[in-house]
Amino acid sequence: MDCVYKNPNEPIEARVKDLLSRMSLKEKIGQMTQIERRVATPSAITDFSIGSMLSCGGSGPFENAMASDWAEMVDGFQKSALESRLGIPLIYGIDAVHGNNSVYGSTIFPHNIGLGATRDADLAQRIGAATALEVRASGIHYTFAPCVAVCRDPRWGRFYESYSEDTEIVRKMSSIVSGLQGQPPQEHQHGYPFVAGRNKVIACAKHFVGDGGTERGKNEGNTILSYEELERIHMTPYLDCISQGVSTIMVSYSSWNGRKLHSHHYLITEILKEKLGFKGIVISDWMGIDKLIEPRGSEYRNCIKSAVNAGIDMVMVPYRFQLLIEELTSLVESEEVPIARIDDAVERILRVKFASGVFESPLSDRSLLDIVGCKQHREVAREAVRKSLVLLENRKHQSKPFLPLNRKAKRILVAGSHADDLGYQCGGWTKNWQGSGGRITIGTTLLDAIQETVGDETEIIYEKSPSKETLERDDISFAIVAVGEKPYAEKFGDNSTLEIPFNGSSIISSIADKFPTLVILISGRPLVLEPWLLEKINALVAAWLPGTEAQGITDVIFGDHNFTGQLPVTWFRRVEDLDQLANGVKLHDPLFPLGFGLTYAEE
């Protein structure tokens, strides 16, 4: 019998049907299983016909592994998959959420909250295209991005992963999907996955649905809304992603009106698959089905049953994959999970694999390695930084606006916890899950960028926390103070106070009392800015989490480019005011409203 599924000239649906007809139950369930690389062995991948693998944050071949090292590792796993009975290739996934951020030397773009400040859909698409190339260079086929949450409360630890509190801005920035996967042709059938070749990656819209609207911004919390509000505020961006051929959608850990999304048949099957017409893979989040019953992990069989019957196609296990396979096999044999549900899941998985071209090009393309961290990509990142900056204050100093700064000033004080820390600039999901401080990869800190920008005659004094002697000098022209948050991700970023860490307010105050001062706030969200502090400083810039290319900041503060960024979210005045945000109510007295952003006055 001819192997239709091996023929790239056959229609995708014919290939899916042919391959599915050849598969045993064991092979089907193997395809539904996504495992972490730490538990992957060649025999496990081959014998169980494992469908997908992933690296969680920080799970690379070794410390500071380059793209070539990643490609070698992923190719090794792929070769094991190709040795299975039917030779079905793996798709290997990673959280490349602002560039290929786990790989040393890659270009790190601003996190989504900064991109939302640009309102630039074309820029988002170009960032997606650059990210796709750097991901494919490392042998990886699949990124768990973009996050299209509509963020409603900055106390949420994933706030920076969202483009905006405004649904329309999130919809606009979903253009990154077309950058990651390629632009589908006009005749492309709605709801079906689309990937435009081996220089593109499988994308994942996440987290379905309402993750940005939980009570008090609690990570994995409960979103209390009517269906109409859920659809209007949080679901609409998924339609834009589906219309661009997004291949996968990840389910949220959170709940809707008290019911966890991972077991929500109505939202996953009746709405996402049937009403919205999504034909790609619905994937669980990391150990997402374990969390369906508390205490975590109890009654695992029932967790699997409710999640798969709800419509989840691929299970991010990530470790206990043999138990998952055993239990799901038993559930099918006892008819508690219908075989039709299994076939639907596997059809979707195979459809994405055929659409992505992984059957034809399963191994890495080493010719792409030179593009990782290349000048062209870093220029796109630098442009993104420039466009993401939001000028919040620019008071007059000596009868004219304080900014732009004079690059030929005699002496400049540079200070603050974030002035010379690449890891802090990049934030969470960089090198590892939570991110970290220091020179974690290749890039330019704010201090580096200032030193490159100022004139040869200008002296830079850098002190993270200036000494008494420095503060008493009378020959410093002005100060640039960079403060903000340490890196964090997910629940570890949940924060009920939102104060500037590292004694930020007092450091700003001590410097601003002595010198004209520009404050650059590097954070994943608005933070508390007390009125007395704002009165002391001359200028204030929200730089979000800019990534590796801080020259984008100096391009603007020294006047080579104007400010164009606008707040993608409302800047609250008091933390207690945030409770007004429930049910989409706008803050009645914000410090700075959504869309606020000053520019340099036109000459």
Active-site residues: which are they? 285, 490
556: enclosing H helix or E strand: helix 551-557
* Cβ count within 10 A of residue 69: 17
Q: How far apart are CA 485 and CA 583, in angstroms?
A: 28
Angle between helices 121-137 and 375-388 (to 10 degrees): 150
Which residues, other chains included, contact 34 with Cβ-Cβ below 8 Å and sequence gap of 6+?
50, 51, 52, 53, 54, 93, 283, 314, 315, 316, 317, 318
Beta bridge partners of 400: 397
Cβ atoms of 156 and 109 within 8 Å: the answer is: no
Residue 381 main-chain phi, psi, to 5 deg: -65, -40
Type of residue found at 144: F
* Cβ count within 10 A of residue 561: 17
Q: How far apart are CA 517 and CA 258, in angstroms?
A: 48
Q: Residue 179: name the closest of 203, 205, 153 by CA.
A: 203
412: enclosing H helix or E strand: strand 411-415
Residue 250 main-chain phi, psi, to 5 deg: -100, 135
Count of helix runs (H) and strand runs (E) in the chain: 21, 19
Q: How far apart are CA 557 and CA 553, in angstroms?
A: 6
Q: How far apart are CA 246 and CA 240, in angstroms?
A: 9
Q: Residue 549: name the closest of 67, 110, 64, 66 by CA.
A: 110
* DSSP secondary structure letter of residue 544: -
Quick one: how far is CA 329 from the chain centroid? 34
* DSSP secondary structure letter of residue 266: I
Cβ atoms of 509 and 531 within 8 Å: the answer is: no
Cβ atoms of 172 and 115 within 8 Å: the answer is: no
Q: How far apart are CA 322 and CA 497, in angstroms?
A: 43
Structure tokens at 318: 């990530």
Cβ atoms of 49 and 27 within 8 Å: the answer is: yes
Structure tokens at 81: 């998959």
Angle between helices 67-82 and 121-137 (to 10 degrees): 70
Whole-angstrom Cα Rg for the chain: 25
Q: How far apart are CA 46 and CA 500, in angstroms?
A: 51
Q: How far apart are CA 273 and CA 264, in angstroms?
A: 12
**DSSP line for 16-63:** HHHHHHH--HHHHHHHTEEEEGGG--HHHHHHHT--EEEE-TT-SSST
Q: How far apart are CA 179 and CA 135, in angstroms?
A: 13
Q: How far apart are CA 349 and CA 30, in angstroms?
A: 11
